[in-house]
A and B are shown apart, each in its own frame.
Chain A
Amino acid sequence: MHPIIEVQDLTKEFRTFRRREGVWGALQNLFVRERITIRAVDRVSFSIQPGEIVGYIGANGAGKSTTVKMLTGILVPTSGRIVASGYVPYRDRRHYTKHIGVVFGQRTQLWWDIAVVESFKLLKEIYEVSDADYRERLGVFSEILGLKNYFNTPVRKLSLGERMRCDLAASLLHNPPLLFLDEPTIGLDVVAKDRIREFLKEVNRLERTTVLLTTHDLSDIEELCKRIIIIDRGKVLFDGDLREMKARLAKYNQVKFFLKDRSQVAALARITTNGISCERLDDLTYLMRFDREHYSNADIIRNIVTTLEVSDILVEEEPIEDIVKRIYLSGEVA
């Protein structure tokens, strides 16, 4: 199949000036400015097939937003190539934007002062959506996202969660084949997050919409994405299947267990030997991490139940947060 997004050696450099501090520094800044170049995105390449949901993750300042801004045509790359939906985004901006939907979690795309439904009507005209399509899509969206109750509320009076749902609906009114989401669940409560994830899955299933999302919240990724791309300091560290990454890079498994009573605490020292660490979560709950290569789950559980009196045991894989954190820290994929 033909990829819907193709990115090759994408690079973005920003030129800025080093700012000196203090009054004397400010005066110096006026006359002598020292140029510095920052490479925010460094020879990034990937391609995405139609219908994929891809998580694009990285720490703050890793280059996620800069990449999304280039993919959406807001920024012109310093070098490299992008073809998305058959367009070069920054060059064919006005045609290209008809084929994409964009949501920035931090900033609304809607008009601040006017009612939600009026914003939708304006967007309908801007994107030249037919009356029938408009009615149908709005019906579907408002049902899944529960928008009906605040159709007539001005955007500025909406809560963050409500606003996010409206932004999502707005970005899909013209049924774009490509959807970019930059931190779509930032600052939302669990229920709101859940609703948005369900909606995205539904849209992806029904319309085969390709989705690229950046996020800090790795539970988004686990819920939505089969594939992730990890970037750090502008470079791609990992690109591939999420489950494969876990299998390859997870070092630890963890066991959470609940002690029967406090008398058991003293016995804990006996089971934390080589390659096993034990962390106290609260009075009676402990979390034990162990190296997957040296111990099997069965070994550990047997060890625990023979030495301690426990009321419950829970075995988990290493959380994806921890894997990703390790990747960020080491700056490479082992």
Chain B
Amino acid sequence: MKRHLRLFALYFAQYAKVRLAYKADFIIAFLSSMAATVLGFGFVLVLFTKIPKLQDWSFYEILFLYGFSLIPLGFFNVVSWNLYQFGDLYIIQGRFDRILLRPVNTLFQVLFEKFRLESLQEVVTGTFVVAVAASKLHVPWPVSNYFWFILMVASGALIYLAVFLMLTAVSFWFEDRVGIVPPVFNMLTFGRYPLTIYNVFIQFMLSWIIPFGFASFYPTTHFLGRTSFNTYFYLVPVVATSFFMLALFVWGRGVGNYSSTGS
């Protein structure tokens, strides 16, 4: 564990060094990431010039939800770069061989060989927006909430990771690029609005199949003092851990399949 922490720091420092060496490239990536975030908030602003409330959610409540959803997503985005390219780079081009030749956990290597540094912007922006919204709403904020907040962010990031890890692991069985990642990725945006505005089918799906609701909506309701989903709030870490364990299991099976088929 200690060794892995040190390796993580080294991998991160190495990658940051490379990334920052190409300043123009990094600045462009940073600006486009920022632009995407700003556009997202712009949409919420425009929406609320047309309507006073979304269901019974006020502008600042939606802002809180939207801002909160960005924080775990930002952390996830920092490490997810290699997951998107996994089928191509690691399976088809065969880089996974090299991963198997090193005395380090396979998933550790895949996640931390590349970082998307600019996505840390989402974490900062999200936190800022949440702070502004919370102060406008006069949300009561006991000290224990800092603990819950961090736990919820960590769980959220774990949920995103678990979902995309499972989708990525599919490449171990089907070499051909699988087209299920983009649609699921688009579903991330569903979590930025109150789950209750969707029909029952989507609500169920976002809770128990692809549990993005647990990454943003259920934590937010609790922080905003909406008590109707309290049980779900306490379930967040449980859901996150279980899905992650499941994802690890699928990943492990995938690695086993790779080494017996040699694709």
Contacts and interface: CB of A to CB of B under 8 A. Distances in A.
Interface residues of A, number: 32
B245 interface: no
Contact of A113 (B18, B98, B100): B18
B97 to A, nearest CB: 5
Contacts of A98: 103
Contacts of A97: 100-103
B262 A107 contact: no
Interface in A82-131: 90, 93-95, 97-98, 100, 102, 104, 107, 109, 111, 113-114, 118, 121-122, 125-128
B5 to A, nearest CB: 11
Contact of B259 (A74, A100, A126): A74
Contact of B262 (A69, A102, A121): A69
A295 interface: no
Interface in A49-75: 66, 69, 72-75
Q: Which of B6, B102, B104 has the most CB of A within 10 A?
A: B102
A173 to B, nearest CB: 12
Contacts, number: 64
A14 interface: yes
B103 A94 contact: yes
A interface SS class: mixed
B105 to A, nearest CB: 8
Given A75-B260, A94-B103, A107 B98 contact: yes
B150 to A, nearest CB: 29
A74 B101 contact: yes
A72 B101 contact: yes
B257 to A, nearest CB: 10
Contacts of B103: 94-95, 97-98, 126-127
Q: Which 10 pairs of residues, A with B, have the shortest CB-CB distance?
A: A76-B260, A97-B103, A98-B103, A76-B259, A74-B100, A113-B18, A94-B103, A75-B262, A102-B101, A74-B97
Given A14-B262, A69-B262, 20 more contacts: A15-B261, A69-B97, A72-B101, A73-B259, A74-B97, A76-B259, A90-B259, A94-B103, A94-B104, A97-B101, A97-B102, A107-B95, A107-B97, A109-B98, A113-B18, A114-B14, A122-B14, A125-B6, A125-B10, A128-B3
